[in-house]
Structure 1
Amino acid sequence: METGSESNLASLEKKDFGKALCIITGASKGFGRCLAQEMSTLLKPGSVLILVARSADKLRELETILSSQRDGLVIRCVVADLGQNDAVESVLSEARKTSSSDINSLFLFNNAASLGDVSRHVRSFTDVNEVNEYLSMNVSSALCLTAGILQLFPADVGLHRCVVNVSSLCALQPFPSWVLYCTGKAARNMMFRVLAKEECDLRVLNYAPGPLETDMQVYARTNTADEGLRTSMAAMHSEGRLLTCEVSVGKLIKVLLKDDYESGAHLDFYDL
């Protein structure tokens, strides 16, 4: 006999996100790439998927894969470094090609992020330009892109709007020698909490995907200045405790399909 939880899960698996405009930053690899692949299977024909990343080759490769798997899905690639002034406008320009009357769902995934220099401690960051460059990429661009998209697609009857910030435990806890990353993640969390308070009709989620086996994790466990943190990350890798992007994305998708979280909440992979 099917249990209640199994029945609920089955119903979730039958759902989709309708005809949507879905924008994913940092889509060329890791969590963002996996997210694009999973979201593409849950969008109805006529939906538009905008993929944003710095690597043109990896974006085109992903576009080819998704196009071969999904008929009726419009895929647009934006090759842009979100730390640059014109990058946000490039994404908005592609989004303008879709009318709100042509969709019933809007999803913006603010996934793009960089780790920053984790080989140093706070006292070494005396270069204002270096810090500003990091914050431009990891904080300012997310704010300006989100604001621009919400202006293009204001609240409207029948339009489901959702903004997801790919967050981290570092938004809540200090990690020694990770001052830039922790600062950026904490700022983004608060940014989207404020947004949830201001836009009551908007669905806003801060999702921390857990420790993922990605290129960023490899860099972190190799270059982190703090010995204790570096050792801890190396142990997680050697003991097989890192998560795959597929597993973490799968949990995020279920949260979005169920859609019963408190808007503005910070949800961690291990909380779900």
Structure 2
Amino acid sequence: MKYAIITGASKGLGESIAKRLLQEQIAVVSVSRTKNEELKNFALENGIEYKHVSCNLSLEIEIQEVFMEISHCIFEKNPTEILLFNNAGMIEPIQKVGNLDQTPIIRNIKVNLIAPILITNLFLSKAQLTNTKVTVINVTSGAAVRSIEGWSVYCSSKAGLNMFTQTAAIEQAELKTNNTIIGFSPGVMDTSMQETIRSSSENAFKELEKFKEYKEKNLLLETDAVANTLVDLVFRGNPESGRVYHIKELINS
């Protein structure tokens, strides 16, 4: 049986990924600070294993404790494959360098970069002792490869995530494991993160009006469509380890 662990699965893209995987009869472990009763009820109605675990991904001690327990429980069941979706992320702080506050800087780096590194490291470490294949999907951003005024911290953390993905993939290939690690850039979606962006100030974020237009002109991607494209890639696209995929290239291919 396959198991999927999804961070940030209570809403947005994470929720859509979880729904699609449950439809595919894959057991899901949702990791976020809040529960999603709709996912729980859907799993119950369809007799699929589903579990929600609360975790604050900005606290490394909590990450280690929570994911040690999750990994122990899953590996004990000898799954055929574990899918790890490092999806949780945060955009804040939206502010120009020189006006940044320390606390949101540190929280951003912890959630966007340190948490995926710690979680991936833990699962790949456990996988060394078993024959279970681990597929890691790190949700990144176009901001990882484009400098955006006001987003210095977000751009930097996502760029770091891309480099981690590519480096870990090289290492897994060298070790001749059957594990795969990819990045996925989902584009501009209709999520609460976009609400946060639109509520920022033009002084802090130069492209504010452009992002408001995305909403006004109905140009934001629906999370269900993006999730379906991603899951199709993972299951049927034979993803290339180390590659960072962008939603546009997958839709147009």
Distance 1:130 1:101, change over 3 A: closer
Deviation at 1:134, TM superposition (A): 2.3
**In the alignment, which residue of structure 1 is the partner of 2:172?**
199
The 1:259/1:179 distance shift into structure 2, 3 A limit, reads same
Kindly indicate whether residue 59 of structure 2 is the aligned counterpart of residue 81 of structure 1. no
Pick from 153, 161, 168: which aligns with 2:141? 168
Residue 124 (structure 1) aligned with residue 99 (structure 2): yes
CA distance in 2, matches of 1:193, 1:199: 10
Q: Does 1:150 align with 2:117?
A: no
Q: Is the 8 A contact 1:177 1:224 kept in 2?
A: no
**For the Cα contact (< 8 Å) 2:92–2:108, is it kept in 1?**
yes
SS of the counterpart of 1:124?
coil
Of 10, 17, 26, which residue of structure 2 is paired with 1:35? 17
**1-side partners of 2:96 and 2:205: how far apart?**
12
Q: Is the 8 A contact 2:4 2:82 kept in 1?
A: yes
Q: Which runs of 5+ in 2 are unaligned?
A: none
Per the alignment, do residues 130 and 67 of structure 1 end up closer, same or farther by CA in structure 2, a change over 3 Å counting? Answer: same
What residue in structure 1 maps to residue 30 of structure 2?
51
CA distance, structure 2, for counterparts of residue 210 and residue 83 of structure 1: 24
Residue 91 of structure 1 deviates from its aligned partner by: 2.5
- Cα deviation, residue 61, structure 1: 4.2
Equivalent in the alignment of 1:137: 111
- Could you say which residue in structure 2 is the equivalent of 1:4? none
Once the two structures are TM-superposed, the CA of residue 123 in structure 1 deviates from its matched residue by 1.9
Hey, what's the Cα distance between the residues in 1 that align with 2:112 and 2:55? Answer: 14
Could you tell me which runs of 5 or more consecutive residues in structure 1 were left unpaired when the two chains were aligned. Answer: 1-18
Q: Give the distance between the partners of 2:11 and 2:74, measured in 1 at CA.
A: 25
Deviates more, 1:103-112 or 1:260-269: 260-269
Partner of 1:270: 248
1:121-154 CA distance string (max 9 Å, x none)? 0122363x54223212221111111111112222
Residue type of the alignment partner of 2:3: L
* Residues 198 and 227 (structure 1), Cα distance of their counterparts in 2 relative to 1, 3 Å cut: closer
Aligned residues: 244
TM-fit CA distance, 1:36: 0.3
Equivalence for 1:107: 83
User: Contact 2:91–2:108 (CA<8 Å) still a contact in 1?
Assistant: no
Match for residue 185 of structure 2?
A: 208
- Compute the displacement of 1:252 (Å): 0.6
TM-score by length of 2: 0.89
User: Cα RMSD over matched residues?
Assistant: 1.9
TM-score normalised per structure 1: 0.84
Q: Counterparts of 2:171 and 2:116 in 1: how far apart (Å)?
A: 17
Distance change in 2, residues 1:39/1:224 (3 Å): farther
Q: CA deviation at 1:224?
A: 4.7
Matched-pair contact (CA < 8 Å) for 1:208–1:268 = yes
Quote the offset at 1:180 in angstroms.
1.4
Name the counterpart of 2:162. 189
The 5 Å alignment of 1:234-253 reads: 234-253=212-231
Deviation at 1:63, TM superposition (A): 1.5
3-state SS of 2:128 partner: coil
Alignment partners' CA distance in 2, 1:150 and 1:224: 41
For the 8 Å contact 1:53–1:59, the answer to whether it is kept is: no
Deviations 1:128-187 (A, max 9, x none): x54223212221111111111112222754x33200001110111111101111111111
